[in-house]
Chains A and B, each alone.
Chain A
Amino acid sequence: NAGVTQTPKFRILKIGQSMTLQCTQDMNHNYMYWYRQDPGMGLKLIYYSVGAGITDKGEVPNGYNVSRSTTEDFPLRLELAAPSQTSVYFCASSYSVRNRYSNQPQHFGDGTRLSIL
């Protein structure tokens, strides 16, 4: 069982270039999330999705776009790369909320380390 798979693992971009970070999960999770983690910092939510065709902004969405056409895939798009987007990007997924008092844990991919020069 692969879990959450992210590609690529490493990438160097030039300022102004664009790219798509891929994320796919094989656990049939409805919910998916994109985070960024800067050195010495906690994870910040970029975008999330509660199902195919449904996406919403997180805490730090500027400069990014997402789509969710299938349950399995949740790609993250950088349109005009900027040095401030140098970070490690993590994709995560979870089952839907069990009930009001019991949320499901998120499971993370291995991350994409992105440098923009």
Chain B
Amino acid sequence: QKEVEQNSGPLSVPEGAIASLNCTYSDRGSQSFFWYRQYSGKSPELIMSIYSNGDKEDGRFTAQLNKASQYVSLLIRDSQPSDSATYLCAPTVGGATNKLIFGTGTLLAVQP
């Protein structure tokens, strides 16, 4: 059974702080990793993708990947109240089919 584990939260951080979201996955064959943001009642929105071990930065977001440890994380710098949402970690499974497996998500609450 392929699984993705995320702390469900809520993770509460003050405005301007760094939010750290973590994810572990069970399928060693996963090659690509995506982070989606989902506001309450809305659809998932892609915010980051990472394919290689190490860090990838995009604006205030940094994704980190360690395939040996089967661990991926998302850092949000200078957190804003508008970042308050559920963050879904999604590794690929099934190779060429591009299928994703989703964690249950971490609810982030940024306090003004």
Q: How far is the CA of A86 from the CA of B21 in the complex (A)?
A: 30
CB distance from A40 to the nearest CB of B (A): 7
Contact A94 B102 (CB under 8 A): no
User: Which of A33, A43, A50, A102 is within 8 Å of B32, CB to CB?
Assistant: A102
Q: Which B residues are CB-close (under 8 A) to A43?
A: 44, 88, 100, 102
Per-residue CB contact flags for chain A residues 79-117 toward chain B (1 = under 8 Å, else 0) read: 000000000001000101100111111111111000000
Q: How far is the CA of A78 from the CA of B10 in the complex (A)?
A: 34
CB distance from A2 to the nearest CB of B (A): 14
Smallest Cβ-Cβ distance to A59: which chain B residue: B101
Contact A105 B45 (CB under 8 A): no
Q: How far is the CA of A103 from the CA of B100 in the complex (A)?
A: 10
Interface size class of A (residues with CB under 8 A): 20 to 34
Q: Which A residues are CB-close (under 8 A) to B104?
A: 40-42
Q: How far is the CA of A109 from the CA of B43 in the complex (A)?
A: 7
Contact A106 B31 (CB under 8 A): no
Contact A110 B99 (CB under 8 A): no
Contact B31 A108 (CB under 8 A): no
Residue A13 lies at the interface, judged by CB distance under 8 Å to chain B? no
Q: Which A residues are CB-close (under 8 A) to B88?
A: 42-43
Residue B54 lies at the interface, judged by CB distance under 8 Å to chain A? no
Smallest Cβ-Cβ distance to A108: which chain B residue: B43
Smallest Cβ-Cβ distance to A30: which chain B residue: B98
Contact B98 A111 (CB under 8 A): no
**Looking at the complex, which of B12-20, B55-63, B77-85, B89-97 is the stretch in contact with chain A?**
B89-97
Q: Which A residues are CB-close (under 8 A) to B8?
A: 40
Q: How far is the CA of A63 from the CA of B46 in the complex (A)?
A: 29
Q: Which residues of A contact B (CB under 8 A)?
A: 31, 33, 35, 40-45, 48, 50, 56, 58, 90, 94, 96-97, 100-111
